[in-house]
Amino acid sequence: MSRKLHLALHPYGVGGPGQHGLWKDPRVAHDASIDINYYIQQAQAAEHALFDALFIVDSQFINATYPAHYLNRLEPLTLLSAVATHTRHVGLVGTASSTYNSPFNLARRFASLDLISGGRAGWNVVTSFDTGTSRNYGLDEHADYTTRYGRALEFVEVARGLWDSYEDDAFPADVAANVFLDPTKLHELNHVGEHFKVAGPLNVSRSAQGQPVIFQAGVSEEGRDLAARVAEGIYAPGGTLESAQEYYADIKRRTASYGRNPDHIKIFIHGGPVVAPTDEAAQRREREIAAEDNDLDRHLALLGRSFGAYDFSQHDLDAPFPDVAALAEKGGRTAATKIIERARRDNLTLRQVAESAADFRQSPFVGSPTTVADRIETWFGAGTFDGINLAFRTTEELAYFVDSVVPILQQRGLFRTEYEADTLRGNLGLPIPVNRHTQARQYVDAVGA
């Protein structure tokens, strides 16, 4: 097969949404989410297995009901900068909000990570659906969907402009000529837009991969459109094979409609494999995990996140699902809308809606190593993803997948047997973006010739 599968690792720490009982597992250190050595070990394990990237999620608002991992975790770019010094090949993708950051500051931080890592940085662009975040930034209200996505598009455009402040040969460092910088290769941005006014230039040069790789995750119309316009990697929800196929085809089609090469956007679905020596043992373990994570209070709190961290505990659990439609616009609108529609259609109580989060939903990637490899191959061949963003509850489960499933994928020609490059772009098969000022000069020279 000419296409090659991409694999990324998403560490759980002490447990995120849907992993409410993980912190109780004796194999998981209670301080894992703030232990840099835990992340270094995870990254080194991913690199040993030839994974493309380590992916770190983030949010900037909590209350006491949030998942254990959310309550006490390291800031992504600080974390990844430390990991960068202990790895050589694996990509380093951090989540950062375009709603609650400034373009100059964030562009500088990602450019620094890109240089520290030798060209392995990636930015997962989020617009933040936790409405409470606004109060941490001195704002009374969270921006609505249209504003957040318009700001995100302009933010990425500004960041990319700043990352092109220096052309690649801007620093001759010619001692004899007493020339450190060629000033003709340094460029101000002078951006003035709807959301930002940024002069530039950025005081950080380009890395070996030119610019950090832009990732995005979104299922709404606005999210899909933003992805098609600017993303080079996408974290997709997955779901059924049919829904994954629909998402994959839609994003590739939208990408082409914007004049971009659909091969230059890599779609990763979430995957939480459960692998055991036999199919029966894996299926049994999957049901045990579901039971361990079945916590109604936590499910109720997680439900509230889609509605801007709304406190559903104030309502009668056995009364009809409350009218909270007005909260969806500034929260996780896509998920919230689906919840409301289902509750109304099926006349569900609040308890029934919250408990539905605990309904057993079998993952497609559960079974013996051969079964899991077969399923990955089937989904990959069916046009559902370019890669899988893998999450494992423990380091032992990660090691078992690496030792048992990855070799099968390699034997079938689906996954690499060595890294293709030293940069994240190189390993993902993405082109290095030509500096816009260099490109303009080359065009002028060509026309003049």
For the chain, the domains span 6-143+209-280+361-432, 295-358
Tell me if the pTM is above 0.85.
yes
Spatial distance between the Cα atoms of 38 and 354, rounded to a whole number of angstroms: 32
SS3 367: strand
Q: Which amino acid is at 85?
A: T
* CATH match of 6-143+209-280+361-432 with 3.30.1490.20: no
Neighbouring residues of 340: CB distance < 8 A, sequence distance ≥ 6: 321, 324, 325, 328
Residue that wins the pLDDT comparison between 331 and 259: 259
Across the chain, mean pLDDT equals: 92
Rounded to 5 degrees, what are φ and ψ at 236?
-100, 155
> Which tokens sit at 207?
């890395």
Spatial distance between the Cα atoms of 125 and 28, rounded to a whole number of angstroms: 29
Rounded to 5 degrees, what are φ and ψ at 429?
75, 30
Residue in 33, 19, 37 with CA at minimum distance from that of residue 72: 33
pLDDT of residue 207: 97
State pLDDT tens for residues 249-304: 999 999 999 999 999 999 999 999 999 999 999 999 999 988 887 777 778 877 88
Q: What sign does the dihedral 306-143-265-106 (CA atoms) show? A: negative
> Which tokens sit at 320?
């009809």
Decide if pLDDT at 67 tops 90: no
Cβ count near 177 (within 10 Å): 8
pLDDT of residue 313: 86
Spatial distance between the Cα atoms of 332 and 58, rounded to a whole number of angstroms: 15
Spatial distance between the Cα atoms of 1 and 381, rounded to a whole number of angstroms: 9
- Supply the angle between the helices 103-116 and 76-84 in degrees, to the nearest 10: 20
Cβ count near 265 (within 10 Å): 25
Spatial distance between the Cα atoms of 115 and 93, rounded to a whole number of angstroms: 14
pLDDT of residue 342: 87
Cβ count near 113 (within 10 Å): 25
Decide if pLDDT at 59 tops 80: yes
> What would you measure as the largest C-alpha separation in the chain, in angstroms?
81
Neighbouring residues of 31: CB distance < 8 A, sequence distance ≥ 6: none
Q: DSSP letter string over 183-246?
A: GGGB----EE-SS-EE----SS---TTSSPEEEE---SHHHHHHHHHH-SEEEE---SHHHHHH
pLDDT of residue 399: 97
SS3 54: strand
Q: Nearest 5 degrees, angle CA 164-CA 168-CA 172?
A: 130
Mean pLDDT of the region 395-421: 97
- Give the pLDDT band (50/70/90) at residue 357: low
Cβ count near 392 (within 10 Å): 23
Decide if pLDDT at 358 tops 70: no
Q: Nearest 5 degrees, angle CA 385-CA 376-CA 58?
A: 55
- Please name every residue paired with 269 in a beta bridge, in sequence order, or none if there are none: 236, 388
| 8-state DSSP, 86 | T
